[in-house]
Each structure stands twice: as C-alpha cells, then as structure tokens.
A and B are shown apart, each in its own frame.
Chain A
Amino acid sequence: MAETKVAPKTIRVEVKRQATPETAAFVEKFEFPYRSGMNITSLLGEIAMAPVTTEGKQTTAVTYDSNCLEEICGSCAMLITGKARMACSALVDKLMAETKDGVISLAPLTKFPVVRDLAVDRSVLFENLKKVQAWVPIDGSYDLGPGPRQFPQIQEERYPLSNCISCTICMEVCPQFNEATGFVGAATIAQAKLFNMDPAGAVLKEERLRALAGDGGIQECGFAQNCVQACPKQLPLTEAISDMGRDVFVQQVKDFFAR
C-alpha cells in the first residue's frame, strides 16, 4: 500500500473521447512511465507523442483547446478527475494523491457542446459578452483624444475583474447555468461590472444593466457560490453579482417609473 504512494511506477489516465459532435463518446485508457512535476498539458503531450492505449491499440492524439499553457488564455478548461479546472495548472502529482486509485480521468466540460474529444464550443460566453457590450466604446471616425482619468481606487477594484480569462469554469460549476434557465453566468456579470466601472465604459452602463435584466439574466443566480470557489483566477465573482444585482434593480425601478 505504502510503496504505490511513495513511488508510483506509472501514470494512468482515462480520457473521455468523441470523434465528432454527433458520434457517441467512449473512454480510452493510457499508461505512461511516471515522471515527477507533470501537468495535464504535458500528460496530453505524452499521449500525442505515442497515442497507444493500455490495450495496445493505436489511436489518435487527444484534441483539446490550448494556447498559452500558463493559465492566462483560458482555453484548456476541462473536467479533470471529475472537476472543472485548467489542464495547464492541474498538477499530476497532486491529482494522483487526490484520487483513490491514482487514475486521472479527463473529460470535456459538460455544459457546452463537444466539438471533438476535450474541445468544446464555448461561444455562448462570447455571445453573452456581446449582449452586455463588455467593451469601452471608443471606435469612431475621428480622434476622441485621451481617455478620462481613472483613480487608483477604481483601478484597484477593477483590476481583479480584468483578470478573467473566459475559461467558463464559473459557468460549468454553476447549478443554475443550464439549458432550462439559460443563465448568463458569473463571468459575463463580472465583465459588465468591470466596464461599468470604467470612466469611459460607463457610458453604456444603463444598457448593460437593462441587458442583464432579460430572461437568463442576473436574477437566475442562486448564490451557490461555486463560481467564486472554482475560478482559477480568484475573481470576486459573488461580489460582482451582488453589486450588479443592486444596480440592475435600481435601473429597473428607474425605467419602470420613467416609462
């Protein structure tokens, strides 16, 4: 019992795979000689170098989204031992200690349509960010000049929100983010707050608040607070939802009496 914990000889992985969005999913098992200090990205690299299953069957490299490999692009979110996290920052040694049998399971996120293997289509987040106009409107046909002054206190409050990497883990872990509610998710609400607090972005504040009162908006939040627990970048998501909940309500009251 003790020797397997101290010196594991191999790393065993189970990958849930799917060739196309329509075909059925299946699981493939892989086993590699143990090497310390690996993460899931390097593990998937090992598979890509020699894509042979434990049974000796020749297969293909596992498809997954990745780009920066240092938890800054938000691409490689997946279910690792059943929980949503980033492949780049998930460490194999920790995961093997975490699981009972030492087998690391990889699966695609469950709330988004699978494209292939571990790659999913997360364009719903992009659409949501467009709906709340999560940007500073500075495009124009002439030079708008320098931007307005931003006080350090505002910068300090905005900076943690600007760390969002659009990985969609907050949405994956949310019990309210599903097809029945069509909830917008914590990331979009936090980005709406980020741009509402921008001195120039605030020009669209009311439109963002009205958008978030639509069906699937901020009201669908059930405050399970999974988002803030799971967020790999530690965004103050529940605080953003609370603050935006108040602002959306005030805007709705204003609109009701101004109509």
Chain B
Amino acid sequence: MASVAAPAPPSNQHPIKGVQPLRAGEGNSFVLRRLHSLTGIVPIGAFLVEHIISNIEIVHGPLAYAQQVKFLNGLPLVRVLEWAFIFIPLAFHALYGVYIAIKGRPNVNVYPWAGNWMYLSQRVTGILALAYIIQHLYFQRFTGVSLPEHPGLAYWKVQYELSNPLMVAVYVIGMVVTCWHFAYGVWLFAAKWGITPGDRARKKFGWVCGVFGTVLCAAGLWSIIAIVNAPAVPFEDVMPAQQPGVMAPTVPVQNESQQQPPLTQQQ
C-alpha cells in the first residue's frame, strides 16, 4: 500500500460558460460591500444630516450662519475630522459605488416593478449626487473665499453662488437626489444587514425612511429658498478675524442706546 494518498483525480467537470459559480470563501468583496453600506450611514449619512441642520441657520441671517460655520470649524482637530469622517469615507463610498453601479445590469424595461425601479434609482441618484458633490466641494470648499478662515463670509459666498438660476437648479436637484439616495440607502441597509427581514417589517420601515427622507429634503430646500429669496448681502465679513488668543464675543456689541450690559467674560 502506498504510504501517501494518491492525488485527487483530475476534475471531470467541464468549465461553465456564462455566469461563474460562487467563489466560496475567496476574495474580500463581502467586507468592501458591507463597508460601503456602513459608510453610507455612518459617517456620510450622519454628516449629511448635520450639514442640512446647520444650513437651517441661514434662515436666521448672515451672522447666525457665520457662527455655525465658525463653531464647526472650531471643533478640536477639525481638519483631521474632516478628512477621516467626511472626505476619505465619501471618496471610498463614491468610487466603490460607481464600481457597483457599473457591474449591475438594470432591466426595468422588462420587469417594471417598484423594487426594480428603486434599484435603478439608487444607482442614478448616487451618480448624480457624486457629480453634485464634486462641484459643491470644488466651488464652496476648495476655491473662492476660504470659509474656515473667514466664516463671516459664508452667507455671502453661498448667496453669490445661488445668484445664478442655473446653480439654484443644480442645488435643488442635488438636494433631492442626495436625500433620496440616503433615505433609500437606510432602507437598503436595514434590509441587507437583516434588521428588517420580513416583508411587513420592510414595508413599515419603507414608510419610516420615506418620511425621514422627505423631511430631510424639505429642510434642505427650505434653506436654499431662504437664501435665494433673502436680500443680497454685500461682500463684507460679518465676523472679522479676532486677534489670536483673544476670547472675543461673537455677538456684535449692541447699540449704546439699548442699555445692554457690556458683554464680558462669562463667569
């Protein structure tokens, strides 16, 4: 008897044409795909909610908006936070998302069912949102007046950008597709991670996501409408830079006639 087992006989199986079988236990697409799903909720989705809530300060005028911009830029290690929790996850989510979209073969022309349309819409809104975000980052974050250094000009910068009707259209479309993508993304997250396995759970959660997305989008559109309809502000820093090291009040001192006590250091 041979001491070593004979090698396995060659496979008599003919190679399969067309779609290949499951590569069981191979590759790391599971991790990447789940990471893609997760980054869409945290941190990107969380940042979207924060951004839209911060934008509402526009309704309260240039100074209130400037204070919000200054507050966010005053967070500890804000540039690290910005790269670690916004830019890098967003870049991953966007690039891997495009890769996913390219590999899909939408077939709503043959099977025009609601879920199938939503599948297509998630890819279309994702790509539109990416195009919007690229221009938004380029014009509002990386070019023009630098808002981290001049938060007092934030209101002017946004209003000036939206003085062009074409840009208003771009922002409205951007807001709608981003909120759509996020709201349905939350629903997909719950479905794929097994949080809402049953049909009824998925249907109910669909309503929750629909209402959430609508409210979020309405809040975002509210701030767009507010700044477009507000009287144009001049190019003037409403919150000029303070001398370094001075804990200056960010609320301008009121008129003397109003008899307010002078703002001093808080006890």
Contact = CB atoms under 8 A, between A and B. Distances in A.
Given A239-B199, A246-B193, A113 B17 contact: yes
B193 A127 contact: no
Contacts of A179: 18-20
A214 B30 contact: yes
Interface residues of A, number: 58
Question: Which 4 pairs of residues, A with B, have the shortest CB-CB distance?
Answer: A246-B194, A225-B115, A215-B27, A224-B119
Interface string B24-36: 1111011101100
Interface string B159-193: 00000000000000000000000000000100111
Interface size class of B (residues with CB under 8 A): 35 or more
A223 B16 CA distance: 26
A226 B188 CA distance: 15
A214 B32 CA distance: 12
B43 interface: no
Contacts of A121: 16-18
Nearest to A184: B22
7 contacts: A175-B104, A216-B23, A218-B30, A223-B188, A242-B197, A247-B194, A248-B30
A14 interface: no
B67 interface: no
B21 A131 contact: yes
Interface in A141-176: 171, 173, 175-176
A30 interface: no
Nearest to A208: B24
A238 B188 contact: no
Interface string A107-149: 0000111000000010110011001100000000000000000
B111 A124 contact: no
A245 B194 contact: yes
Nearest to B36: A219
Nearest to B195: A246
A217 to B, nearest CB: 6
A213 B27 CA distance: 9
B115 A211 contact: no
B106 interface: yes
A252 to B, nearest CB: 6
A199 interface: no
Contacts of B103: 176, 178, 180-181
A212 B26 CA distance: 10
A121 B21 CA distance: 13
